[in-house]
Structure 1
Amino acid sequence: MDSLELLQALSDAPGVSGNEAAVRKIIREAIQDHVDEIRVDSLGNLIARKRPASSSAGLRVMVAAHMDEVGFMVVGIGSDGLLKFRSVGGIDARIVLSKTVRVGEDGVPGVIGIKPIHLTDYAEINSVPKIEDLVIDIGARGQEDAKKSVKAGDWAYFDTHFSHIGDLVKGKAFDDRAGCAVLAEILKEDYPFELYAAFTVQEELGLRGARVAAYDINPDVAFVLEGTIADDLPKDKDTSPTTEVGKGPAITFMDRSVIPDRRLIRLLVETAEANGIPYQFRRALGGGTDAGRIHLAREGIPSAVVSVPCRYIHSPAALLSPEDFNHTIQLMTHALKRLPDVWSDMEEKRPR
């Protein structure tokens, strides 16, 4: 399958944090012919090793993207057969009302329910309901009927299907299936160093998988691939959106979890400009990525973050530009191939 078909398969797959098996299976099948080793660690990270094509630069490089998505977990079943649930990862309660979801291993269809507006008073209409006050309705006739299909502890995920909308594509979980698809694509190329691809788990719950993977791999340098926020819709006063869809991959210079290595940022910028690849900077300082854990592993690992801008992430339907997606693949491929040539100079400029 081509890169966009892979993105579609990954986006459509269920993979709430802690339940990444379906995503892991798709990735394994996509990359197995392009790497030398594949293994899954005890936490669930899929780690692929790609040996140097020829003489090695003596580098060990890690590129990471997380497999998990935000979603829900069933915490109880009422006597009426309605499912009580909690969010897994950061989800805005305003966007879940009346959304369709799939629950459990069998993907039981359900609807997130709320009291009809006809029965709602003014105060309720003008307030945001709490997740714990909502339910998932799977059409069960009661508790025992519901228990035939689902159980407490089951994951639930948005029932969204990949599609094209104008020049953009729509899907769920572009954070971070977009990064996973980019990483799978760059593995098709050869590099003059040892490359480790880490498809990590449980990023949405505190960057958990990345911490384990980075300690295990112990790379000299790391890159993290993400699907990041694009807040580029019209506003009365804001003239500095976080990122903009259609303006190329976004390079992070700081967020809440990491200050990326400026030498790697310079490598990315120079690579983009030398190859005519559009790029932008991620201008929001909030949020975090797997780089927040990776750069602190062992004695510290120089790290950088490159993202595909996405509108409406952490929601049932996000949008991204296929051009941004493809430009991210191009930028990372070219930057990785240039890395050995600039590494010795980067070492000389290491902060003391």
Structure 2
Amino acid sequence: MLLEQLSNAFGPSGHEDEVRRLLARALRDRVDDLQVDALGNLIAFKRGTGPEPRLKVMVDAHTDEVGLMITRIEKDGTLGFRALGGIDDRLLMAKRVIVGRDRLPGVILAPPIHLTKPEQRKQVIKREQLVIDIGATSREQAKEMVGIGDYAVFATRFDLLTDDGWRVVKGKAFDDRAGCAAATALAEESYAVDLYLSFSAQEEVGLRGAGVAAFRIQPDLAFALEGTICDDAPKKKDVSPTTEMGKGPAITLMDRTFIADRRLVRLLMDTPQAQSLPYQFKQPGVGGTDAGAIHRSRTGVPSVTVAVPCRYIHAPVGLLSLQDFDNLVALMKATLHALPEKWSTL
């Protein structure tokens, strides 16, 4: 399964090479052209079957995951680091990580409970105070194993938890390897529109790659495919979750970086009704996606984000429903087929 390979891959912001290679291998026989730009975006082009002029449709998914960068090597051989992307300090202690070019195993330090005072146990240890232990006993030994600027990611492996109903899987980096796998699946079919699949770099550190890709492609409209926040666990207060697992792909109406084009939202709403596909809306105002960079490219690009709900996003391990994933792919395929006829009437 491509999603499993992508989830297990090593690909923090700025070092997405392994993810890009997997995607290129999966796409090479399905598209007409593959290019990698100077920033590390992989752009796949699938020529449309309709008469010219054809709509140029960009479907974006980012390849990078939240991770860590090694910034110092201590005298005792442990490694100081900084976060790449939004990681909660509370989630770091005692987590297994993979470090550097040689993919070394490591563990983020955690003080034993026996040596901490009760009041200390109530405090979050900030990441600046944490280090990664790779088993080295000196700075000299550690320098032979890793270097300043090397990367680290969480050491989580993909696994199937339930094989019926929602078909729940666990893994890391579903934001946005779920979007990458879904975008790749779109290339299985041909469409009347010209399709540009953009697998963009460095989203987690500022939506950097997608804006560059959009400037190059000059699309008429764009879809950003994501793995998004799902906080449907039981709560003390009766409040609506951001999204819910098992309720289908989530359409973003607005987040911190953009307001979705209402015509595309309407098209996404009409298509699942015609296809009997479930969908939901993400609670507005939360997070940001590559659509925030794409919609401002050149003279503006009508854009919308559609996502798979993922529990425990930006954490060492996340969960998603393969049923939701399959419904996202089905929704996007149906929407792309409907575009030539529907777009001019919206």
Per the shorter chain, which TM-score range? over 0.9
The answer to whether structure 1 residue 108 and structure 2 residue 104 are counterparts is yes
**Mapping of 1:235-274 within 5 angstroms?**
235-274=235-274
Task: Compute the displacement of 1:44 (Å).
Answer: 0.3
Task: Compute the displacement of 1:239 (Å).
Answer: 3.0
The structure 1 residue matched to 2:91, chosen from 88, 95, 100, is: 95
Other-structure match for 2:222:
222
1:287-324 per-residue CA deviation (whole Å, 9 max, x = no partner) reads 10000010011110000110000000101110000000
Partners of 2:48 and 2:54 within 8 A in 1: no
> Alignment RMSD, CA only?
0.9
- Provide the secondary structure at the position in 1 that maps to 2:204: helix
The answer to whether structure 1 residue 161 and structure 2 residue 157 are counterparts is yes
Cα distance in 1 for partners of 2:69, 2:221 equals 36
Partners of 1:56 and 1:194 within 8 A in 2: no
Other-structure match for 2:16:
20
1:130-181 per-residue CA deviation (whole Å, 9 max, x = no partner) reads 1110010000121111111111100000000000112310000000000000
1:62 partner letter: M
1:245-271 per-residue CA deviation (whole Å, 9 max, x = no partner) reads 011000011111110001100000100
The answer to whether structure 1 residue 42 and structure 2 residue 51 are counterparts is no
1:186 partner letter: L
Other-structure match for 2:325:
325
1:249 partner letter: P
- Provide the secondary structure at the position in 1 that maps to 2:145: coil
- Provide the secondary structure at the position in 1 that maps to 2:185: helix
Long gaps (5+) in structure 2: none
- Provide the secondary structure at the position in 2 that maps to 1:160: coil
**Mapping of 1:61-100 within 5 angstroms?**
61-100=57-96
Q: Percent identity?
A: 55
The answer to whether structure 1 residue 9 and structure 2 residue 5 are counterparts is yes
1:250 partner letter: A
Task: Compute the displacement of 1:81 (Å).
Answer: 0.2
Structure 1 segments, 4+ long, off by >6 Å, are none
- How many equivalent pairs are there? 342
Cα distance in 2 for partners of 1:336, 1:325 equals 17
Cα distance in 1 for partners of 2:53, 2:25 equals 29
1:76 partner letter: R
Other-structure match for 2:114:
118
Task: Compute the displacement of 1:57 (Å).
Answer: 5.2
Cα distance in 2 for partners of 1:245, 1:57 equals 40
Other-structure match for 1:58:
54
**Mapping of 1:172-321 within 5 angstroms?**
172-321=172-321
Partners of 1:250 and 1:308 within 8 A in 2: yes
1:35-82 per-residue CA deviation (whole Å, 9 max, x = no partner) reads 100000000000011111243452111000000000100001111000
Partners of 1:57 and 1:193 within 8 A in 2: no
Cα distance in 2 for partners of 1:134, 1:271 equals 49
Cα distance in 2 for partners of 1:72, 1:340 equals 43
Other-structure match for 1:349:
none
1:311-352 per-residue CA deviation (whole Å, 9 max, x = no partner) reads 001011100000000000000000011011012223xxxxxx
- Provide the secondary structure at the position in 2 that maps to 1:148: helix
